């Protein structure tokens, strides 16, 4: 194993903002996803199709000033009408200051939405219209006043919708970001990286919504699935914690036989997300696979993440699922990343330095690695510790052990591969 900084956080300092649920188990984590405005409603509708409601762990709430749009959403979503007096249920007609006014008048309703003690509130909105753009700064401000853990997911309008809409949307994001823990931004325009210019408008929106919903689904699965290495609530909290952060999210699936390097590149280069990966401070990733998923595969992906984001604290999870035979699925959530444009300036400054380094760097040859024994894994960990790298020894060795045990027992559980009780993380 090379000199990687793979850190598994066990405890998070108490003074930090987000509260830890009593038993720290992700199983009990409750999340509320709030779709605001027309686009926000569409996105959470897409996500709700992919998730199981029965568990009561995830709550979907749609907020809009357009009552017809609310009505068109599935009945399983909670619907909250805003601004009846101001718009008579017809929407703001893209009037952002009206949206803001309505949000201020509806402060009670917003507080009520936030009053159910969830562990995480995710605000989702497509900016450019009056409802979403006008209300998200108010939602964010109230969430901060209530000291709630938050993640914002916002889309920016297409370029053809005009510079003013873009400016207003950006302004709303900046305001909201200051009050949220982390914000993920998806410019709708990015769809043209995948689709023809003449793609019908609604099809373009559907592709974006679907992709975003898939990534969010990946993140939520990461929260709720139990694995060989569990990502627990403290890990997620650590990644989201902080203020005014930019976020990156992606989920990718591939066959185990596919090129894992290419898979990782795809995972770390979500073209739809605006921010660059390389300045991440915290990276959380989870790999899900069948029983033949190995530590080597986990190591390869960690290595790549470390190469791309050398300053990041990396937290990983590993879930084995018998549903996935020859597939591998990975989800990554990174925070603290900077804009691509900002990065360009930095890259220019660093170019000369980099060139020198690249010249002297050896090109790594990708040769298939032999599986390591527990002893070898332990030695690797010792090397890392000698180098001053903070690692969670117990987990890494346990994984190896559990892997071997699993292979021996050849468990035929249907659902999720469970870790033997004595290996489970202490609460």
Ligand X SMILES: Nc1nc2c(ncn2[C@@H]2O[C@H](COP(=O)(O)OP(=O)(O)OP(=O)(O)O)[C@@H](O)[C@H]2O)c(=O)[nH]1
Task: Identify which range of 33-41, 198-206, 263-271, 278-286 contacts Mg ion by CB under 5 A.
Answer: 33-41
Torsion sign, CA atoms 342, 348, 352, 354? positive
Residue 289 contacts which entry, ligand X, Mg ion, none (Cβ below 5-8 A, type-dependent) = none
Query: Is 95 or 398 the residue whose CB approaches ligand X more closely?
Result: 95
Question: What gap in Å lies between CA 423 and CA 401, rounded to an integer?
Answer: 9
Shortest distance, position 200 Cβ to ligand X, whole Å: 13
Q: Under rule CB under 6 A, how many of the chain's residues touch ligand X?
A: 25
Shortest distance, position 155 Cβ to Mg ion, whole Å: 13
Closest alpha carbon to 269 in 255, 248, 299: 248
Q: What is the DSSP string of 201-245?
A: HHHHHHHHHHHHHHHHHHHHHHHH---SB---HHHHHHHH-SSSE
Query: Is 15 or 197 the residue whose CB approaches ligand X more closely?
Result: 197
Query: Can you list the alpha helix ranges (DSSP code H) found in 225-339?
Result: 233-240, 260-267, 295-308
Question: What gap in Å lies between CA 79 and CA 249, rounded to an integer?
Answer: 27
Instruction: Indicate which single residue of 35, 157, 187, 289 sits in contact with ligand X (rule: CB under 6 A).
Output: 157
Shortest distance, position 83 Cβ to ligand X, whole Å: 9
Residue in the structure block whose two tokens are 């033997």: 420
Task: Identify which range of 38-46, 250-258, 346-354, 378-386 contacts ligand X by CB under 6 A.
Answer: 38-46
Closest alpha carbon to 283 in 329, 253, 246: 246
Site string for ligand X, 202-231 (x = CB under 6 A): ---x--xx----------------------
Query: Is 43 or 384 the residue whose CB approaches ligand X more closely?
Result: 43
Residue 158 contacts which entry, Mg ion, ligand X, none (Cβ below 5-8 A, type-dependent) = ligand X
Verify binding: residue 38, Mg ion, rule CB under 5 A: yes
Verify binding: residue 92, ligand X, rule CB under 6 A: yes
Verify binding: residue 129, ligand X, rule CB under 6 A: yes
Helix axis angle, 295-308 to 393-409, nearest 10°: 150
Instruction: Indicate which single residue of 38, 137, 149, 317 sits in contact with ligand X (rule: CB under 6 A).
Output: 38
Q: Could you give the C-alpha distances from 332 to 138, 262, 305, 382, in angstroms and in order?
A: 29, 15, 10, 27
Tell me which residue has its CB nearest to ligand X.
Answer: 129
Q: What is the CA radius of gyration of the chain?
A: 22
- Write out the residues near Mg ion by the rule CB under 5 A: 38, 66, 91
Q: Please report, as ranges, the residues that interact with ligand X according to CB under 6 A.
A: 37-39, 42-43, 65-66, 91-94, 126, 128-132, 155, 157-158, 161, 188, 205, 208-209
């Amino acid at each position: 194993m090379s000199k990687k900084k793979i850190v598994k956080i066990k405890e998070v300092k108490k003074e930090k903002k987000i509260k830890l649920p009593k038993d720290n188990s992700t199983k009990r984590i409750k999340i509320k996803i709030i779709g605001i405005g027309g686009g926000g409603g569409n996105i959470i509708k897409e996500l709700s199709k992919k998730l199981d409601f029965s568990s009561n762990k995830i709550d979907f709430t749609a907020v809009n000033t357009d009552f017809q749009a609310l009505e068109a959403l599935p009945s399983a979503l909670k619907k909250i009408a805003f601004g009846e007096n101001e718009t008579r249920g017809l929407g703001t007609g893209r009037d952002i200051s009206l949206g803001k006014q309505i949000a201020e008048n509806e402060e009670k309703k917003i507080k009520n939405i936030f009053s159910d003690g969830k562990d995480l509130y995710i605000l989702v909105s497509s900016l450019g219209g009056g409802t979403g753009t006008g209300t998200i700064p108010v939602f964010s401000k109230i969430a901060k006043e209530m000291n709630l853990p938050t993640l914002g997911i916002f889309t920016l309008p297409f370029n053809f919708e005009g510079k003013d809409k873009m400016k207003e949307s950006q302004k709303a994001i900046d305001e909201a970001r200051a009050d949220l823990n982390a914000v993920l931004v998806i410019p709708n325009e990015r769809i043209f990286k995948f689709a023809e210019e003449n793609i019908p408008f609604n099809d373009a929106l559907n592709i974006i919504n679907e992709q975003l919903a898939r990534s969010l689904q990946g993140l939520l699965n990461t929260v709720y699935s139990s694995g060989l290495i569990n990502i627990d609530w403290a890990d997620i909290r650590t990644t989201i914690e902080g203020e005014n952060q930019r976020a990156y999210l992606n989920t990718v699936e591939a066959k185990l036989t596919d090129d894992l390097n290419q898979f990782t590149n795809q995972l770390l280069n979500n073209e739809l997300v605006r921010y660059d990966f390389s300045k991440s401070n915290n990276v959380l990733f989870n790999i899900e696979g069948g029983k033949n998923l190995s530590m080597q595969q986990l190591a390869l992906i960690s290595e790549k993440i470390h190469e791309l984001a050398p300053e990041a604290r990396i937290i990983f999870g590993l879930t084995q699922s018998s549903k996935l035979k020859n597939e591998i699925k990975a989800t990554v959530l990174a925070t603290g990343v900077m804009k691509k444009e900002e990065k360009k300036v930095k890259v220019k400054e660093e170019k000369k330095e980099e060139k020198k380094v690249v010249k002297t760097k050896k090109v790594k040859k990708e040769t298939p690695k032999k599986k390591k024994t527990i002893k070898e894994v332990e030695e690797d960990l010792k090397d890392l510790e000698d180098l001053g790298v903070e690692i969670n020894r117990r987990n890494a060795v346990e994984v190896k052990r559990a892997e071997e045990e699993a292979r021996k027992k050849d468990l035929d559980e249907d659902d999720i591969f469970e870790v033997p009780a004595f290996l489970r993380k202490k609460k």
